[in-house]
Chains A and B, each alone.
Chain A
Amino acid sequence: MQPILEAIKTRRMYFDGGMGSMLQAAGIPEGLLPDVWSVQNPEAVQTVHRAYLRAGSRLITTNTFGATRPKLAPYGVTVGEVVTAAVNNARAAMEAEGVTDGYVCVDIGPSGKLLKPYGDLDFEDAVALFAEPAAAAQAAGADAILIETMSDLYEMKAAVLAAKENSDLPIFASLIFDGTGKLLTGGSPRAAVALLEGLGVDVFGVNCGLGPKEMAPVFEALWRDSSTPLLLQPNAGLPRSQGGKAVYDVDPADYAAQMLPLAPMATVLGGCCGTTPDHLRALVEATRDIPLPTVTEKDTLFISSYCQAVALDGTDPVIIGERINPTGKKKLQAALRAGDTGYVLNEALKQEDAGAHILDVNVGLPDLDEPAVLTKMVEAIQEVTGLPLQLDTSDPVAMESALRRYNGKPLINSVNGKEESLKTILPLVKKYGGGLVCLTLDDDGIPDSAQGRLAIAKRIAAAAEAQGIRRRELLVDGLTMPVSAGGENANITLETIRLAKAELGVKTALGVSNVSFGLPRRDNLNQSFFTLALHNGLDGAIINPNSAPMMGTYRSYRALRGLDEKCQEYMEAFKDAPDPVPAPAVSAAPKPAAAPASVEMTLRHAVTKGLREAASAQARTMAEGGTDILDIINGQLVPALDEVGREFEAGKLFLPQLLMSAEAAKDAFQILKEYLPAGESGGSPQILLATVKGDIHDIGKNIVKVLLESYRFRVLDLGKDVSPETIADAAAEHQIPLVGLSALMTTTAPYMAETIRLLRDRGLPCKVVVGGAVITRDYAESIGADCYAPDAMETVHYAQRLLEG
């Protein structure tokens, strides 16, 4: 028999329609998992398959939508048993109908859980969950795996990886979009194309959620961007509630009519909720003579996050923010060593605000566990921003670890012409997907001519294509060398990217600012080189987006090249920028220090009013002006915080105002710390904070953290959903004197009790303060807490009594 992937490209093939509603009509009891009937009532399931076969369906979906271990557990059947029975039911139905050209597709539906960090299902646990049905599909002799009704691209990635790792069956992948044209978790059609083509699924598309008419815009968007055959399985319209049941109103004739305009784009058609064999029959009748679509290869490289895609189309360049790289950055080095995620997140968000489209993430420090830290930082950054990331490491283990857990399709920085590099990196790109930065160097070093670098680029491109990685996925990096080290350096780099683009049809990338290394006023050279590089076809500019001149260059280029329609983005970016006044002649005299009295007033005022920028600026002015740092803290920050704290407790200020002041004080303190002698500003953590196991609400804990830090307590924040063991281990390791625990739910409060028990059992000398919505004074006492904090300030007071005497 023809392999399924060939069959769908030679003739119109149809999936089946709704299974659940058909089984309901056959009398399956409410609340019973339909999958169980594959084992317990095979005749009923076969009857449904046979009806669809008679209607013309030849891609039969097994009754295994919910066949995962946790869902089957209550019924005493295994995933293997259900999948095997389900495949046999489909085969038996074909035999009974005399169908010899049908294929069995094992259905894998969503877990019903949300993955971390938003839910509590770990990515690897999700992969393991889907591995069972995938392996069972292979063992049972299915023809393909259909992963469907996925509303989360991250879960889809887990399921596709499970299918790839546990079977060699073709993979069909289908998503459920809502009426706004997005996945329920926020993903766009383009982000879906990026991810699914990166993972190399064979066919993908849309099912469920909407009727054909409502689905059209999403499907058309997939069609525009994809280079892969598409599948389309809408519901029979939008569901309507009637007598406690969902009903669907689009009848077979209308269904077929609404599918007509979409059929020329769809390689495979079928139905979902509310569709019946009659719908399928009408669909087959109406569309079987419509020629199959010709799927074309698109040239655009898409990089994506969980929600959005960035397009590198070879014409319109994008900014890759370079600031998360510890080379030469002391503060970032310290933050990475201390596991201070907050610092890294702020660097990420600042670059996003400045206009970056993609963020480079490099955590390479000699004494750091790079695979663990890179993965952790990538996850943390993806929790707060929708910008796609560029994974930047020379450690292949770190690359695979981060690439595997990355939510979307990242840029991979990098591969080069060395055999070892090609051998380790290309298979990762093939398996997980990603745009690939190709450094034009090899075992012989960096060629000193554009032709030499181009030759390496050609070799990399050939090796990539040999592995099935498309040309469009490559960004050739021409390697920016300092012009101070050789007058031709800039020319060679520029010529390399121009040639690579013209001759290889790849995209290009450059770390721009290296060109000015060793020379004064680097911004002059950087800006001009940047313009030249853009003009020579630079697609991915790795720069500092916080540099106004560089972003100005970028925005000017786009406006001048007609890439910025009506200069709208240019105008938006500079709408608040005053035209520069002529600079006054540079005076040799130092700026007179502002009068201390007015400055003191201002810092205290800034903190009291919660003005973060003003507080930072005033702190710096005072410190630069020579005021003793401890005097600033004790004379300004502390009184301001005390005043605000009193007003809050008196009910005169709201919580946000208290927090604004705390954050202003914290920012000011960060500045002042730079002026303190080393050793006086840091130290081991004093307070450990965690939201207990099972609890993922951490806003209360975070509020307490800000307040404690504003009072200059050193806090070790273990985050949310933290096990008793992790808390006890950290408390022991850092000899923590005070542990703060938060719980929001009655269901998770018992873990608070368990954590305290463990701390006591291990004989750790720490005190414990507890709080959270469901915690009462009585409960706190009953579980042996040392302090109950009904509000945010109480923890501060307790810490002051305990740690400051």
Chain B
Amino acid sequence: MRADRREVARYLGLGGRDLPEELEAYAAACEAELARAAAPKTVSRRLPVSQMPGESRDLAHHLRHCKDCVLYAVTLGAETDRLLRRWSAQSMAKAAVGQAVCAVWLDDLCAGLCRDLAEEGSYLTPPFSPGYGDWDLSVQGRVLDLLTAHKRIGLTLTAGGMLVPEKSVTAVVGLSDREADACGQKCMRCTKTDCPFRASD
């Protein structure tokens, strides 16, 4: 794994610009240390759209041309959280860079998983996660159960609805036979145009 530096910059809040040289080296050092701690894991399951938990018009619309979808979860593992906590005690600068690197890795992990799925011959909708639109975060527990995510990749949920390990993502992608549904640029369909982390087109 090597995180795209422009993406790291975007997660540090300055999208569209390159990291200055000294930060570039700093980020590389952080990334090397993180790579020794991270244990990326993924789990996925193909399901009929009808089995998606929760009532969500946005999700239904998102998957409207799909019969099946793939639910997945990815995590960078418990040791990644621990290293970030350690950095928080030593240097918040390092912790902030570490956060950004992890965010990029998670994106890459999800993208890699989707690439593998796409090879099976369907067009994939962009990922849609619990908490997007009106798909309530309370479905997260059921999502983890459907994936047996605790046993398979050690992913759990707190009472407050947070994924732990923290550096984790769950999402669903629809499998469509319409090319028009194919995954576009990741932020393009989001309506929050003033988001500081929005990817430029």
Nearest-CB residue, chain B, relative to A382: B82
B164 interface contact, C-beta 8 A: yes
Highest count of chain B CB atoms <10 Å: which of A118, A654, A745: A654
Give the CA-CA distance A129 to B153 in the complex, in Å. Answer: 23
Of B57-65, B144-152, B174-182, the one with at least 4 CB within 8 A of chain A = B144-152
Chain A residue numbers with a CB within 8 Å of B97 are 656
Cα A703 to Cα B96 in complex, Å, equals: 8
Across-interface contacts of B41 in A (CB, < 8 A): 178, 184
Contact of B166 among A349, A610, A696, A721 (CB under 8 A): A696
Known: A655-B13, A746-B131. A119 touches B85 (CB 8 A): no
Chain B residues 122 to 178 lying within 8 A of chain A, measured CB to CB, are 131, 137-138, 145, 148, 150-154, 156-162, 164-166
Which of A184, A655, A660, A697 has a CB less than 8 Å from the CB of B154?
A184
Report A634-669 residues with CB < 8 Å from chain B CB. 651, 654-657, 659-660, 662-663
Stretch from A189-197, A241-249, A467-475 contacting the other chain: A241-249
A243 to B90, CA, bound (A): 47
Assess A112 versus B9: contact at CB under 8 Å? Given A180-B39, A186-B77, A384-B86: no
Q: Is the CB of A656 within 8 A of B156?
A: no
Partner of A699, one of B20, B84, B151, B164: B84
**What is the bound-complex CA distance between A346 and B91, given in angstroms?**
10
Residues of A652-711 whose CB lies within 8 A of B: 654-657, 659-660, 662-663, 693-699, 702-703, 705-706
- Determine if B96 and A342 form an interchain contact, defined as CB atoms under 8 angstroms apart: no
Counting chain B CB atoms within 10 Å of each CB, which of A119, A182, A610 scores highest? A119
- Contact residue range for chain B? 35 or more
Is A345 part of the binding interface, using a Cβ–Cβ cutoff of 8 Å? Answer: yes
Contacts of B93 in A (CB 8 A): 610, 656-657, 659-660, 663
> B31 interface residue, CB < 8 Å from A?
no
Q: How far is the CA of A694 from the CA of B137 in the complex (A)?
A: 14
List, in ascending order, chain A residues with CB within 8 A of B19's CB. 654
Q: Which residue of A lies closest to B81 (CB)?
A: A118
CB pair B88 A745 closer than 8 Å: no
Is the beta-carbon distance between B45 and A120 smaller than 8 angstroms? no
Given the interface pairs A119-B158, A654-B20, A697-B162, the reply to whether A110 lies near B150 with Cβ below 8 Å is: yes
The interface residues of chain A lying within 8 Å CB-to-CB of B154 are: 151, 184-185
For residue A615, CB closer than 8 A to chain B, the reply is no
Task: Tell whether B12 is near chain A: CB-to-CB under 8 Å.
Answer: yes
In the assembled complex, how far is the CB of residue A364 from the closest CB belonging to chain B, in whole angstroms?
Answer: 23
Q: Which residues of A contact B56 (CB under 8 A)?
A: none
Q: Count of A residues near B, CB < 8 Å?
A: 62
For A180, the closest partner residue in chain B by CB is B39
Shortest distance between the CB of B174 and any CB in chain A (Å):
15
The answer, among A239, A657, A696, A698, for a CB contact under 8 Å with B164, is A696
Instruction: Say yes or no for A383: interface residue by CB 8 A criterion.
Output: yes
Interface residues of B in 60-84 (CB under 8 A from A): 77-79, 81-82, 84
Chain B residue at smallest Cβ distance from A112: B150
Closest to B197 in A: A773
Are B89 and A384 in touch, CB under 8 angstroms? Answer: yes
B92 touches A663 (CB 8 A): yes
Would you list which residues of chain A between 118 and 132 have a CB under 8 Å from chain B? 118-120
A208 in the interface (beta carbon within 8 A): yes
Query: Of B12, B39, B77, B84, which one neighbours A654 at CB under 8 angstroms?
Result: B12
A385 and B82 alpha carbons, distance in the complex (Å): 8
Closest to B87 in A: A384
What is the minimal beta-carbon distance from B62 to any residue of chain A, in angstroms? 19
**Shortest distance from the beta carbon of B63 to any chain A beta carbon, whole Å:** 16
Query: Which A residues are in CB contact (< 8 Å) with B158?
Result: 113-114, 119-120, 694, 696
CA distance A417 to B194 in the complex (A): 70
Is the C-beta of A100 less than 8 angstroms from some C-beta in chain B? Answer: no
Contact A383 B85 (CB under 8 A): yes
At the interface, yes or no: B198 with Cβ under 8 Å from chain A?
Answer: no
With A176-B151, A663-B91 given, is the CB distance from A384 to B156 under 8 Å?
no
Inter-chain contacts of A580 with B (CB < 8 A) = none
Q: Which of B23, B44, B45, B150 has the most CB of A within 10 A?
A: B150
**Bound-complex Cα distance A651 to B20 (A):** 12
B156 lies within 8 A of A655 (CB) = no
Complex interface bits, A728-750 against B, C-beta within 8 A gives 1, otherwise 0? 00000000000000001111100
The answer to whether residues A112 and B84 also contact, given A184-B78, A654-B12 and a CB cut-off of 8 A, is no
A654 to B23 alpha-carbon distance, docked (Å): 9
Q: A655-B96, A696-B160 are in contact. Are A346 and B39 (CB under 8 A)?
A: no
Q: Is the CB of A208 within 8 A of B95?
A: no
How far, in whole Å, are A702 and B47 apart by their CA atoms in the complex?
A: 41
Q: Is A149 an interface residue (CB 8 A)?
A: yes
Q: Is A695 a contact of B95 with CB atoms below 8 Å?
A: no
Q: Which residues of B contact A244 (CB under 8 A)?
A: 45-47
Contacting pair B165 A349 (CB below 8 A): no
In angstroms, Cα B159 to Cα A176, docked, is 24
Residue of A nearest to B11 (CB): A655
Residues of A within 8 A of B39 (CB): 178, 180, 182, 184, 186
The CA-CA distance from A697 to B160 in the complex, in Å, is 11
Chain A residues within CB distance 8 Å of chain B:
31, 110, 112-114, 117-120, 149, 151, 176, 178, 180, 182, 184-186, 208-209, 239, 241, 243-244, 246, 307, 342, 345-346, 349, 383-386, 610, 612, 651, 654-657, 659-660, 662-663, 693-699, 702-703, 705-706, 721, 744-748
Besides A186-B77, A746-B131, 14 other A-B contacts (C-beta < 8 A): A114-B164, A120-B158, A176-B151, A178-B41, A186-B78, A383-B82, A384-B85, A655-B96, A660-B91, A694-B158, A699-B96, A703-B92, A744-B162, A745-B161
Question: 28 A-B residue contacts at CB 8 Å?
Answer: A112-B156, A113-B157, A118-B81, A176-B151, A184-B39, A184-B41, A184-B154, A185-B154, A186-B82, A246-B148, A384-B85, A610-B93, A651-B14, A656-B93, A656-B94, A657-B93, A659-B91, A662-B92, A663-B91, A697-B162, A698-B88, A699-B84, A699-B88, A699-B96, A702-B88, A702-B92, A703-B96, A745-B160
Across the A-B interface, the 7 shortest Cβ-Cβ residue pairs: A184-B154, A694-B160, A659-B93, A747-B161, A120-B158, A384-B86, A345-B89
B-to-A contact residues, CB < 8 Å: 9, 12-14, 19-20, 23, 26, 39, 41, 44-47, 77-79, 81-82, 84-86, 88-97, 99, 131, 137-138, 145, 148, 150-154, 156-162, 164-166
